[in-house]
Structure 1
Amino acid sequence: MAHLSRVLTVLLGGVLGALGAWLLLRPPPPSFPDTPSVVQQMRDVARLETLDVALYKKVTFTPEPQATDALWKDVLNWARYAIENPHGRAIVFADARLGFDFQRFDATHLQVSGTRVYVVLPPMEVKVELRPGETEVIDSNLDSAQTAQLLEKARVAFEQEVRADARLKQRARDSAERALRSLLLTLGYREVLFVNSLPTATAG
C-alpha cells in the first residue's frame, strides 16, 4: 500500500510539473494596444494613402454681361459684349487627390471583438488643385478677372467629375483598406472587416 502511495505521489508530481511547465512555456494571450493608440496609428497611415490623379482638359468660357440698375448701362454692356465678343479657350491641367477624412475618425468608427476588428471608414475627400504654370491659353481676349473665372470653373468641373468617378473612388478605397489592414494585422488582430456600420453589440 505504501508502495502504491509513493507511485501515485510520483505520478501526481510529474503531472503537476508538466502542467507547470506548459503554463510557463505557452505563449501569452495577445495584447492589443488601447483604442486611442490604434485610432492615432490609423490616422497616421491613412494620411499617406491618398490617390493622386493628373488631369487635363480643353475648356472654353464666355462670360455673361453683368446686370446693373441703370437701363442704358445694361444696353451699353450688351452692346460692348456683342462687339468685343469676350471669350477664352485653354488647356487646363490639375491634380486631384482622393482620400478619407481621418480627422473625423475616432473610436466610434472602430469595434473590436476578440481578434476581429470592424472598421467604418470616414467620408471620402476630393481636392483639386490647378497647375497654372502648365495651363496653355489657346485663344483668349479675357481680362485677368475673367481668366480667373475661367480657371475656377475648370477646377469645379474637374472636382465634380472626380467625385462622380466610381472607378477612381474605388481605387482610393482599396488603397486605404490595404494599408489599414496591414497595420491592424501587424498590431495582432487576425481579421479586419471594413463595414458601412458597426455591428450591434449583443448582451452576453
Structure 2
Amino acid sequence: MANLSRVLSVLAAAAVGALVAWVLLRPAAPKLPDSATVVEQMREVARLETLDVALYKKVTFTPEPAATDALWKDVLLWASYTLQNPHGRAIVFADAHLGFDFQRFDASHLHASGTRVDVLLPPMEVRVALRPGETEIIDSNLDSAQTAQLLEKARLAFEQEVRQDTRLQEKARQSAERALRGLLLTLGFREVRFVDTLPLGAAG
C-alpha cells in the first residue's frame, strides 16, 4: 500500500507539474490593437488598393447625331445644339480609378468580438481623368472653350459608364477585401467578415 501511495503521489505531482508548465508556456492570447490604430492602418492599405482602368472612346459629332448609346447621347446632342453645322471626330482616352472612400471610414464601421471582426466598407468612389496628351480631335470646327466643354462631357459619360459597370466594381471590392483581410489577420484577428450592415449598437 505504501508503494502504491508513493506511486500515486509521484503521478499527481507530475500531473500538477505538467499543468503548471502548460499554463506558463502556452501561447498568450493576441493583444489586439485599439480601433483608432486599426482604422488608420486600413486607410493606408486602402489607398494602395485603387483599381485603375484605361478607357477610350471614339466620339463623332455631326449636325444630326444618331447616338445609340444613351450615356454618350448627351455628348452628341450638345455638339448639335451648340454649334452651327458642327462636325468632327475625337478619340478620347481616360483613366478610371475605383476604390472605397476611406476618408469616411471610422471606428463606427468596425465591430470586434474577441478575435472576430466585422467590417462595413464605405461607399465606392469612382474618379475619371482624361489623358489630354493622347486624346485626339480630328477635323473639328470647335474652338478651345467648346473643346474643353465637350471633353468634360465625355469625362462625365466615362464616369457614368464605370459607375454602372458591376464587373469592375466587384473586381475593385475583391481587391480591397483581400488586402484588408490580410492586414487584419496580421493585427491578430482570426476571422474577418465584410458585411452590408453592422448589428444595431454594435459599431465601434
Structures share fold, TM-score greater than 0.5 = yes
4+ residue segments displaced more than 3 Å? 1-15
CA apart distance, 1:88: 3.5
Distance (whole Å) between structure 2 residues aligned to residue 160 and residue 168 of structure 1 = 13
Identity of aligned residues (%): 73
CA apart distance, 1:138: 1.7
Distance (whole Å) between structure 2 residues aligned to residue 25 and residue 201 of structure 1 = 38
Q: Any idea what SS the aligned residue of 1:132 has?
A: coil
Deviates more, 1:131-140 or 1:12-21: 12-21
Distance (whole Å) between structure 1 residues aligned to residue 4 and residue 152 of structure 2 = 96
CA apart distance, 1:64: 3.0
- Could you say what the CA RMSD is over the residues aligned between the two structures, in angstroms? 2.2
Deviations 1:141-187 (A, max 9, x none): 11111111110010010000000111111110010011111111122
**Which is higher, the Rg of structure 1 or of structure 2?**
1
Distance (whole Å) between structure 2 residues aligned to residue 5 and residue 86 of structure 1 = 108
Deviations 1:89-134 (A, max 9, x none): 2000000000000011110001111221100000010000000110
Which runs of structure 2 are paired with 1:102-141 in the superposition (5 Å)? Answer: 102-141=102-141
Deviates more, 1:169-178 or 1:25-34: 25-34
Residue 42 (structure 1) aligns with = 42
CA apart distance, 1:18: 2.2
Residue 81 (structure 2) aligns with = 64
Q: Any idea what SS the aligned residue of 2:198 has?
A: coil
Q: Any idea what SS the aligned residue of 2:174 has?
A: helix
Residue 87 (structure 1) aligns with = 87
TM-score normalised over the length of structure 2 = 0.82
**Counterpart AA for 1:47:** R
Listed as ranges, the gaps of 5+ residues in structure 1 are 66-80
Q: Any idea what SS the aligned residue of 2:81 has?
A: coil
Residue 22 (structure 2) aligns with = 22
Distance (whole Å) between structure 1 residues aligned to residue 11 and residue 58 of structure 2 = 88
Equivalent pair of 1:53/1:96 in contact (CA under 8 Å): yes
Listed as ranges, the gaps of 5+ residues in structure 2 are 62-75
TM-score normalised over the length of structure 1 = 0.82
Which runs of structure 2 are paired with 1:192-203 in the superposition (5 Å)? Answer: 192-200=192-200
CA apart distance, 1:200: 4.0
Residue 70 (structure 2) aligns with = none
Residue 73 (structure 2) aligns with = none
**Counterpart AA for 1:199:** P
Distance (whole Å) between structure 1 residues aligned to residue 134 and residue 110 of structure 2 = 43
